[in-house]
Amino acid sequence: MEQKITAKEFTMNVLNGLAIGAVVVLIPGALLGELTKALVPGMPQLAMVATALKLSTSMMGLVCGIMIGMNFKFSPIQSASLGLATMFAAGAANIVDGALVLKGTGDIINMGLTAALGAWVIMKLGNQLKAYTILVIPPIVLVVVGSIGKIMLPYVMLITKLIGNGIASLLTLQPIIMCILLAIIFSILIMSPITTVGIALAISLSGIGSGAANLGVCAAGFGFAIMGWAVNTRGTSLAHFIGSPKMSMPNVIKKPAVMLPIICTAACCGVLAAVLNITGTPMSAGFGFSGLVGPLNYLNAAEVGWNVVTVGKALIAFVAGPIFFNIVFKHVFTKVIPLVTEEDYYLDVK
C-alpha cells in the first residue's frame, strides 16, 4: 500500500537525512584528519587510519541515502537500495583508467534530488512486491533512479559554478567590505545543500578571502551550538563546530529567522578577518573550525610561522570572536528583539 505523506514531511525527511548523513561521514575526519596527517610521516602504520577517514568522506552519498530511507521508515532493503542509488549519482565514485576511484564527497544537491526521486519511486511501489522486494527494488532504484541522478549531475553542478562566479565578483571589492560579504555568504551556504568547499575550489578562493569564508563557517558552527545549547545534548551542540553546522539545515528551512544571529556574527567575523589578516587556501576555505583545518592552514601559511602573535590571532578569529559575537547576538535576538527562541534550534538526533 502506498504511503501517504505531505509535501512538507517529504521535504523535511530528505533534508534531515542529508544533514545527519553529512555530519556522520565528516565527523571522523574532523576529529582525526589533521592529527593523522601530522603523525603519518613518523608513524606509517597510521596510513590505514588516513585511508579510513578518506573513505568515510567519500561514502557521503551512501550514508545520506540510507539516512533518508530511515526517515521515511523504509525497510532495510529499501533504505540500502536508496543509499546505493544516491552514492552512484553523487559523483564521488568514478572510473579512471579502468579502475574505480573514490574522491571527495560528491555533489550534495544531486544526492538530495536523487534520494527524493528514489524515495518517491519506493513509496509508489510500496509493499506491493512482497516476497519479490529483494529481487526488484535494489536493481530498479540503483539502475533507473541512480542513472537518472547520474545524468542530472553535470547540470546540477552548474548551480555551484554559477554561485561561485557570483562570489568571485566580490573579490574586487575593498578588503573589509569583501570580507564581511564573504563571511556572510559562506555562513549561509554552509546551512544549505551547497558545498562550501566546492565553491571555494571552483573560484580558487585564497588569501584573506579564504580566511573570511572560514570565519563565516565558524560563525555558523559556534552559533548553532550556542543558540541551541540549552535545548540540545552537549554532543549535538559540539558537533556543529567540530563537524558541520549543516546538521541544522532543516531548522533553517523551517524558520529562516534562526539565521539572523549567525549572519550578524558572520559580518563581525568578516571584519576580524580583514583586521587580523586571516588567510587561507582554496583547499581550506569552507571548512571553518572543523578538523582545525581553518586555523591550522592560517598558521601554516603565516609569513612569520607559528609564534605567540599568530597563535593569538588564530584563537581570537576562530574561537573567541565567533563565541563572543554569537553570545551577544543571541541576547539581542532572543531578549532585546525577540525574533527567535532557543527551542527553534532544537534538533531531534537519535
pLDDT averaged per 10 residues in sequence order, the chain, 350 residues: 76 87 80 77 86 88 94 93 95 85 85 95 81 84 95 89 84 89 94 80 82 94 95 91 86 94 97 92 80 84 82 95 97 96 86
- For residue 162, count other CB atoms closer than 10 A to its CB: 11
Residue 163: the pLDDT is: 83
For residue 280, give the DSSP letter.
B
Strands 93-96 and 99-102, by their bridges, are antiparallel
Query: Residue 114, SS3?
Result: helix
3 burial (CB, 10 Å; 0-12 / 13-18 / 19+) is middle
The whole-angstrom separation of Cα 212 and Cα 218 is: 10
Residue 3: the pLDDT is: 60
Between helices 7-39 and 108-125, what is the axis angle to 10°?
140
The whole-angstrom separation of Cα 268 and Cα 184 is: 9
The whole-angstrom separation of Cα 127 and Cα 116 is: 18
The helix or strand, by DSSP H or E, that contains position 271, with its residue range, turns out to be helix 260-276
Residue 334: the pLDDT is: 95
Residue 350: the pLDDT is: 61
Residue at 198: amino acid letter: G
Q: Cell numbers for 242, please give them.
A: 567540530
Query: Residue 101, SS3?
Result: strand
Q: To the nearest 10°, report the CA torsion of 189, 190, 193, 199.
A: 60
Which residue matches cell numbers 544533514? 19
The whole-angstrom separation of Cα 108 and Cα 17 is: 11
The whole-angstrom separation of Cα 63 and Cα 56 is: 9
pTM for the predicted model, two decimal places: 0.77
The whole-angstrom separation of Cα 295 and Cα 38 is: 15
The whole-angstrom separation of Cα 102 and Cα 124 is: 32
The whole-angstrom separation of Cα 302 and Cα 241 is: 23
The whole-angstrom separation of Cα 12 and Cα 223 is: 22
